[in-house]
Structure 1
C-alpha cells in the first residue's frame, strides 16, 4: 500500500481564536469550524469525554491543510512546547511566501516572534522562523529564483 497524499497537519492550541487570526493573516484560507466529540472521538484519540473545537485551513495552492484544535475536555496539565528549532518532535510548518519581511510584519501584530534572523541561502531563498501561537514554529521561505 502506498500513501496517496498527506491530508493535513494538526496543531492543538489553547486560544483557538488567536491561532485562527494568526493563520488567516499568514494567508491560509479558512475551510470551516466545528465542535467534535462523542464515542468516535474518544475511541480515535484514546481519551474519555472528548469535546474539542476545530478549525480547518487550506493553503492557497489547495494542496495542504492545517487543522487547529482546542480541547474543552479532557483537560491536560502539560504545558505547550516552547523549545528551540532543533528539539526532536517539535511541530514546525514551512510556507513559501512572496515577501518574508511583509509576512513578518503582519504576523508580529498577532504575537509572532522572529527566531534568529532572516537568513539568505545563496541566491536560492531567504528563510526565517517565527514562533506563533502556543509556541508553534512557522518557517517562511521567500524563493529568489
Structure 2
C-alpha cells in the first residue's frame, strides 16, 4: 500500500462581507494582495456543495510567499449563517495566527483601524508574547512575537 504524504497547506479561507475592508486589514498586518477575481460556474458549486454560486475572491500572501488567506465574498447564494461573534471556544471557530516583529506596534496599528484587543497581550514563558485581536468584521486573529529561542 502506498502512503499518501501531505505536500503542503495552500491556504485558509475566510468568508467576508467586504473584500476591500478585509484586504486593507490583512495588508496592515503585512500580507500582500496576490490576486482578485470572480469564481462562478457549475464546477465551483460541485466543489463547495452549494450548486450555483458566484464568489468574488482575493488571495493574500505572507511576505515569505509560503502562506495564503483566500478571502471570499459570496454574491450568490446569500449568506445563511454568521459565526463572527462566537466566543473563541466555539466548535469549528476559525483563528489565524501571525508572527510579528513588534506585537505592541502591530496591535496599536490595528486598534487605530478599529480592531479590538480580545484579552490582553501576555507573555508565555521566555518564548512568546501573544494576543488575540478582533479585526475588520469581527474576524479573529492571533499575534505572536518570538522573544526567545527554545
User: TM-score, structure 1 length as denominator?
Assistant: 0.94
How many residues are matched? 145
RMSD: 1.2
Q: Measure, in 2, the Cα distance between the counterparts of 1:41 and 1:108.
A: 36
By percentage of residues, which structure has more strand?
Answer: 1
Match of 1:83 among 69, 83, 86: 86
Residue 51 in 1 paired to residue 59 in 2? no
Alignment correspondent of 1:100: 103
* CA radius of gyration, larger in: 2
User: TM-score, structure 2 length as denominator?
Assistant: 0.91
Match of 1:142 among 142, 145, 148: 145
Alignment correspondent of 1:10: 13
SS in 1 for 2:119: strand
Q: Does structure 2 conserve the Cα–Cα contact (< 8 Å) formed by 1:80 and 1:135?
A: no
Show CA shifts across 1:65-116 (max 9, x none): 1100100101023223212222221100001001111111211233211010
Q: Which moved more, 1:74-83 or 1:127-136?
A: 74-83
Q: Measure, in 2, the Cα distance between the counterparts of 1:51 and 1:102.
A: 38
Q: Measure, in 2, the Cα distance between the counterparts of 1:64 and 1:79.
A: 25
Q: Which runs of 5+ in 2 are unaligned?
A: none
Which runs of 4 or more aligned residues in structure 1 lie more than 6 Å from their structure 2 counterparts after TM superposition? none
